[in-house]
A and B are shown apart, each in its own frame.
Chain A
Amino acid sequence: MAEPNVRARKAGADGEGHPSGDDRFELIDKALKRARFSQDQLIEILHVAQDVFGYLSPDLLVYIGRALKLPPSRVYGVATFYHLFTFEEPGDHSCTICTGTACFVKGADDIVLALSREHSVAAGQTTADGRFTLTTARCLGSCGLAPVAVIDGEVRGHLDAEAAVAAVAANLAASANGDDGAATEPEPERIAEPAGVAGEGN
């Protein structure tokens, strides 16, 4: 299955349209059906919802909770427990710097500091213009490449402060010049097909 391209599908592919007026919900409905509305598939559905919408809004959580017949407390509790789920709209571009011990030894802090200063944004925040989100991760499991950062979904190793700032600037410039194809819509780094669902019970 091709990865659902987030906003491109908004117009609706089949012309029917979702009753909510936002056809992105059709993708969630599809995932719900594939999961046979099973409550233990909640995390997978949340993954799909975040892939489609970019973040989990309160509306989305309520929608998923109703579909799975789960109380909002349970949906909210699960969604907030896991670090990969985000509740604020991310910036157009992102940079996640690993601050695990191997990267720390190789100077990851300098990279965080340089990017913070360059864009006047603290780690974990998005710039006021919504163009860039800077985050840190505890360990990306690529310690052999330290220091590592994920810039717009692409893992870059052996970075230093200058290289990281330059790479982010290049991506920002590329989309500012109207070349907003790949840069502004980074392919979400997700598994395309939840393989297991296909294998269950048929």
Chain B
Amino acid sequence: MGITGQVTAMSYRYDVPGVDDIDVYEQHDGYEGLRAALTMEPTDIIQLVKDSGLRGRGGAGFPTGLKWSFVAQDTGKPVYIVCNADEGEPGTFKDRPLMEYDPHQLIEGMIVGGLALNSVQGYIYLRGEFAFAGRQLAKAIRQAYERGYLGADVMGSGKRFDLTLHRAAGAYICGEETALLDSLEGRRGQPRLRPPFPATHGLYGCPTTVNNVESIAAVPFLVRHGADWFRQWGTEKSPGPKLIGVSGNVVNPGNYEVALGTPIREIVDIAGGMAEGHELKFWCPGGSSTPLLPAAAIDTPYTFEDIAEQGSMLGTGAVMIYSDQVCVVDTVLRFTEFYEHESCGKCTPCREGGYWLSQILRRIETGSGREEDLTLLEDICGNILGRSFCALGDGMTSPITASLKHFHDEYVEHLRQGRCPFGTTAPRRDIPMLAVGSRDVGNAQVPTFEPAGQA
């Protein structure tokens, strides 16, 4: 096992003032990876990425080198490389800082990826809400064109690579790779049936690879330093550094870089430990769609395989820490409302199931739950899991099934007391509990808001 703990590898330029400018970036080894990549054969670059063991940083952890080797090269159609920068998983904020502070790192990675895949056109699919990251990337792309890193003649090599920034318009489902491709084509972002996979029939029906920002940004480092450099961190199956976002009841929530294999306990310490007066109750390893884990699993090393052994997933690297003052039912209701809202509506289990799951959870949380609701929740989850069109439906069920597994007693307590033991009375859509009375404003009847019990 390699080095663990907090590291500075991919984030080493974050603190350099003005590194978003191409001059400063060039002074800090900028585009050195591209220079090295231009001397290599495309297949050698892919082999290098394979050797490094880099696993996709977007959630599924599929080996990036392997994914690239699947991209069909013999179809006579153009090959596209697409960067998935639609970072929308609740709790996740690891790609946004990279794009805001060090946007050239991503652009360099895209060009190297383009060389490896014999692609002449790349796309960055950026989440629409990321206005600042969008401006930073647009500026960086413009500068890269001016300096000849992008365009018809990449660094005088005679090879072409163009890069297009696509600003999305707010839809979580577009993080799913086939939905993302539909959205890039100017349509509603709804997932496509697979097979055929994007590696053969992707964007405009051409061979396409879709990779996460962090995966792509890692490639120039691999080219510069080699696979062994990358493997000095982490474990055999999960090598390398990982950007994570720690949030919740910790002293210093924020963006950190750790080596894979670091125990969660240490990650909490890196973020300053638990906030005063708070005790760890449960945590999510990588965003809301990864099953939550109880405090007992705190010594799990942060690797793909160890987290999977605990019954969860590493996901996007959004470590969310919840204390004993947080109601698990309320938290799960939040997640479920999110998935209900973000379901694209293409398939029935996800569209209808999400609605019913959040209705039932809301009923339990507000004190009108019935005993049979718990088995009903499990039943609905069972009917969504594996039966929905894409992973959004599966992601919807995981917080519910995990919380029922680890915190069944808390659900029962909600039912027994007929209210939330934590006393949260949050205003929520669909429930009229706050509208008491109304008052005239002009001609419109506007409800006055008085929380129950305070009037």
Contacts and interface: CB of A to CB of B under 8 A. Distances in A.
Interface residues of B, number: 79
B131 A189 contact: yes
A27 interface: no
Contacts of B427: 109, 112-113, 116, 123
A143 B245 contact: yes
B164 A196 contact: yes
B407 interface: no
Given A46-B169, A128-B446, A196-B165, A146 B247 contact: yes
A144 interface: yes
B248 A191 contact: no
B441 interface: yes
B320 A120 contact: no
B123 A196 contact: yes
Interface stretch (B83-91, B298-306, B360-368): B83-91
Contacts of B320: 101-102, 143
B224 interface: no
A192 interface: yes
B92 interface: yes
A43 B162 contact: no
A181 interface: no
A116 B449 contact: yes
Contact of B248 (A84, A105, A201): A105
A195 interface: yes
A81 B163 contact: no
Interface in A56-88: 74, 77-78, 81-85
Given A81-B188, A193-B142, A141 B129 contact: yes
A193 B171 CA distance: 22
B441 A127 contact: yes
Interface string B322-339: 100010001100110010
Nearest to B93: A141
Contact count band on A:
35 or more
Majority secondary structure, B binding face: mixed
Interface in B149-184: 150-151, 162-172, 183-184
A195 B441 contact: no
Given A101-B288, A138-B341, A197 B164 contact: yes
Contacts of A138: 90, 172, 338, 341-342
Contacts of B164: 195-197, 199-200
Contact of B449 (A82, A117, A191, A194): A117
A201 B165 CA distance: 14
Nearest to A155: B132
B137 interface: yes
B129 A140 contact: yes
Nearest to B141: A195
A54 to B, nearest CB: 15
Nearest to A39: B186
Contacts of A189: 131-132
B334 A104 contact: yes
Interface in A88-139: 99-102, 104-105, 109, 112-113, 116-117, 120-124, 127-129, 137-139
A44 interface: yes
A139 B245 contact: no
Given A100-B334, A141-B129, 18 more contacts: A43-B169, A81-B189, A82-B168, A82-B189, A83-B169, A83-B170, A101-B331, A102-B253, A112-B427, A116-B427, A120-B446, A123-B427, A128-B446, A138-B90, A190-B134, A191-B167, A196-B162, A196-B164
25 contacts: A42-B187, A43-B169, A47-B167, A78-B188, A81-B171, A81-B189, A82-B169, A84-B128, A84-B129, A100-B91, A101-B91, A102-B247, A104-B331, A105-B331, A113-B449, A120-B446, A122-B447, A128-B444, A128-B446, A139-B88, A143-B253, A191-B131, A193-B138, A196-B163, A199-B150
6 closest pairs, A vs B, by CB?
A196-B164, A82-B169, A143-B247, A83-B170, A40-B186, A189-B131
